[in-house]
């Protein structure tokens, strides 16, 4: 009897974990003008030990390059197509026929996301159309017997109105009924996953005084947080964030939907005014997240001990054409030339002692001092002069000193005039959200570019 019981237990365990195993894969973003080809990328993805790759679309060259490999692939319906697909089964069918059918099964397409962080990044009208579009895509897949492909959509943490304490996790009231409930219903019915983008870097960087860096990097030995309502004790910020989503789903009546980490990671560099973006922290975070998520038996989170959490690190490459602050262009495990930014093994098989020592972090404290915003050397002259005009047209004498006869007119060069204009514009408008980026034409510097009687305005931190 005892033996029989054990046997049953064993069978049950092997069934429940059999369907999905722990793995860590990588997000293959393509927003760079200097990235390796899809064919070269396959070799790099394999060398990283990734079991799964997620792309932001359905680039046929990438889908073709991954054929006959063991790597699972996640593809995506772009946000822009959601409304039309939600209105037309025919369009859903044709999307699946041109983007999935020709590549399956040689390419192991296993996940299909309808939209990327739609609620965070696309107009409101699209939000309630996500689930209808997912249903139509699912139905098209069914027609082709592509039942192995799980359909979902990805969500960032900002779909929650409360995430602290984790037991208080609550979806935003404006989306709970029209978007989240139908989503959770769909995921339950189709046994799919809630795809979650989770970056402890951002809450830590926004409040490094209250949150310990070690806690954000899974390095905390003495800092823990006990949720006063659930009494669960947390040793890292990642678990806290994931569990806030678990509790939010539970609150809506869906306690069992599995979570798939669609993106997580830490920037290896950033702008001068961005704290903690460095190789040391990025390597530490990503190595620790891999260790946690590939552990056998699975660790799970405090609210879901032992649960398997399939995951994807962001990102394969540093992508030089991503807009926004510098960190956005520095989430890569690899440089665009294919070399590693730091040692990393997504299979979790390499112990930390198997990696080269890391450079000491230089920016774990907030930067204090002045920063200027300069044109980058070798920038496209046409684009630079329109950026100069834009900066100068934003009023309040931004560009007076570079007019003829004024102290910053000489040297009369596009580079120096643009640099003055960028610094002046940024120092005036940073408070209202202006950035020192200008589509990659500008960069921050801590070195005062002023000369003679020409004083460049600066931002002071």
Ligand X SMILES: *[C@@H]1O[C@H](CO)[C@@H](O)[C@H](O)[C@H]1NC(C)=O
The answer to whether 418 and 451 have CB atoms below 8 angstroms apart is: no
Span interacting with ligand X, options 76-84, 105-113, 232-240, 405-413, rule CB under 6 A: 76-84
User: How far apart, in whole angstroms, are the C-alpha atoms of residue 75 and residue 154?
Assistant: 12
Of the candidate residues 339, 354, 447, 452, the single one contacting ligand X (CB under 6 A): 339
393 sits near ligand X (criterion: CB under 6 A): no
Question: Pairing between strand 370-375 and 442-445?
Answer: antiparallel
User: How far apart, in whole angstroms, are the C-alpha atoms of residue 14 and residue 317?
Assistant: 36
Of the candidate residues 61, 80, 174, 256, the single one contacting ligand X (CB under 6 A): 80
DSSP helix/strand/coil, 320 = coil
- Residue 113, Cα to own-chain centre: how many angstroms? 15
Percent of the chain that is helix, strand, coil (3-state, to 5): 40, 15, 45
* Residue at token pair 């709970």: 176
97 is catalytic: no
263 is catalytic: yes
Site track 221-240 with ligand X (rule: CB under 6 A), x = hit: -xx-----------------
Minimal distance in Å, beta carbon 192 to ligand X? 25
Residue 81 or 454: the one with the smaller Cβ distance to ligand X is 81
Residue 168 or 458: the one with the smaller Cβ distance to ligand X is 168
Of the candidate residues 21, 94, 396, 413, the single one contacting ligand X (CB under 6 A): 396
List all residues 6 or more positions away from 273 whose beta carbon is below 8 Å from its beta carbon: 367, 371, 444, 459, 461
Residues 194-223 that bind ligand X (CB under 6 A): 222-223
Of the candidate residues 335, 340, 367, 415, the single one contacting ligand X (CB under 6 A): 335
User: How far apart, in whole angstroms, are the C-alpha atoms of residue 226 and residue 223?
Assistant: 10
16 sits near ligand X (criterion: CB under 6 A): no
User: How far apart, in whole angstroms, are the C-alpha atoms of residue 401 and residue 365?
Assistant: 35
Site track 30-69 with ligand X (rule: CB under 6 A), x = hit: ----------------------------------------
- Residue 349, Cα to own-chain centre: how many angstroms? 24
Residue 143 or 380: the one with the smaller Cβ distance to ligand X is 380
If residue 412 lies in a helix (H) or strand (E), which one and from where to where? none
For Cα atoms 190, 194, 199, give the angle at the middle one, nearest 5 degrees.
165
Nearest to 180 by CA among 239, 126, 243, 248: 248
CB atoms within 10 A of CB 208: 16
Span interacting with ligand X, options 78-86, 269-277, 287-295, 447-455, rule CB under 6 A: 78-86
Of the candidate residues 59, 170, 185, 450, the single one contacting ligand X (CB under 6 A): 170
Span interacting with ligand X, options 102-110, 192-200, 249-257, 379-387, rule CB under 6 A: 379-387
| Partners of 155 in beta bridges | 196
Minimal distance in Å, beta carbon 87 to ligand X? 8
Of the candidate residues 337, 362, 377, 431, the single one contacting ligand X (CB under 6 A): 337
Pick the catalytic residue from 19, 117, 161, 365: 117
List Cα–Cα distances, 382 to 304, 320, 389, 414, 418, in angstroms: 55, 19, 11, 10, 12
Of the candidate residues 380, 389, 393, 413, the single one contacting ligand X (CB under 6 A): 380
383 sits near ligand X (criterion: CB under 6 A): yes
Residues 110-139 that bind ligand X (CB under 6 A): none
If residue 415 lies in a helix (H) or strand (E), which one and from where to where? helix 414-429
List all residues 6 or more positions away from 358 whose beta carbon is below 8 Å from its beta carbon: 279, 280, 283, 284, 342
DSSP helix/strand/coil, 39 = helix
Pick the catalytic residue from 219, 263, 319, 356: 263
252 sits near ligand X (criterion: CB under 6 A): no
168 sits near ligand X (criterion: CB under 6 A): yes
Minimal distance in Å, beta carbon 108 to ligand X? 28
Q: Read off the tokens for 155.
A: 């969500």
Nearest to 422 by CA among 434, 407, 404: 434
Span interacting with ligand X, options 108-116, 121-129, 163-171, 402-410, rule CB under 6 A: 163-171
Residue 46 or 87: the one with the smaller Cβ distance to ligand X is 87
Residue 172 or 370: the one with the smaller Cβ distance to ligand X is 172
Catalog residues that contact ligand X under the rule CB under 6 A.
80-81, 84, 161-162, 164, 168, 170, 222-223, 335, 337, 339, 380, 382-383, 395-396
**Catalytic residue numbers, as ranges:** 117, 263
């Amino acid at each position: 009897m005892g033996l029989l019981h054990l046997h049953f237990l064993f069978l049950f365990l092997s069934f429940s974990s059999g369907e999905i195993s722990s793995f860590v894969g990588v997000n293959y973003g393509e927003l760079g003008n200097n990235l390796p080809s899809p064919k070269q990328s396959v070799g790099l993805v394999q060398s990283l030990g990734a079991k799964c790759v997620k792309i932001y679309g359905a680039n046929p060259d990438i889908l073709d390059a991954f054929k006959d490999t063991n790597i699972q692939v996640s593809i995506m319906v772009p946000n822009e197509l959601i409304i039309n697909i939600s209105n037309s089964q025919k369009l859903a069918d044709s999307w699946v026929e041109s983007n999935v059918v020709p590549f399956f099964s040689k390419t192991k397409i296993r996940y299909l996301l309808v939209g990327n962080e739609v609620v965070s990044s696309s107009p409101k009208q699209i939000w309630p159309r996500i689930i209808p579009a997912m249903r139509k895509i699912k139905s098209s897949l069914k027609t082709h017997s592509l039942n192995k492909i799980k359909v979902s959509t990805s969500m960032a943490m900002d779909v929650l109105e409360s995430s602290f304490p984790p037991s208080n996790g609550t979806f935003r009231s404006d989306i709970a009924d029209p978007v989240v409930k139908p989503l959770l219903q769909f995921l339950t019915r189709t046994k799919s996953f809630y795809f979650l983008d989770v970056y402890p870097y951002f809450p830590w960087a926004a409040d490094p005084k209250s949150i310990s860096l070690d806690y954000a990097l899974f390095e905390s030995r003495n800092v823990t947080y006990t949720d006063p309502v659930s009494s669960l004790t947390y040793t890292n910020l990642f678990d806290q964030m994931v569990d806030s989503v678990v509790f939010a789903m539970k609150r809506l009546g869906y306690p069992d939907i599995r979570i798939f980490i669609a993106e997580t990671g830490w920037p290896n560099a950033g702008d001068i005014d961005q704290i903690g973006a460095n190789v040391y922290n990025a390597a530490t975070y990503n190595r620790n997240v891999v260790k946690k998520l590939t552990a056998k038996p699975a660790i799970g989170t405090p609210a879901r001990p032992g649960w398997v959490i399939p995951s994807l690190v962001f990102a394969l490459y540093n992508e030089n054409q991503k807009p926004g602050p510098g960190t956005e262009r520095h989430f890569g495990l690899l440089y665009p030339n294919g070399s590693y930014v730091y040692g990393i093994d997504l299979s979790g098989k390499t112990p930390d002692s198997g990696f080269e020592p890391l450079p000491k972090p230089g920016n774990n404290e907030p930067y204090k001092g002045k920063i200027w915003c300069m044109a980058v050397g070798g920038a496209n002259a046409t684009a630079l002069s329109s950026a100069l005009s834009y900066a100068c047209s934003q009023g309040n004498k931004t560009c007076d000193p570079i007019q003829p006869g004024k102290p910053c007119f000489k040297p009369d060069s596009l580079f120096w005039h643009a640099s003055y204009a960028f610094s002046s514009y940024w120092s005036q408008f940073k408070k209202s959200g202006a950035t020192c980026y200008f589509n990659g034409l500008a960069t921050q510097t801590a070195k005062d570019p002023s000369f003679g009687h020409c004083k460049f305005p600066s931002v002071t931190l």
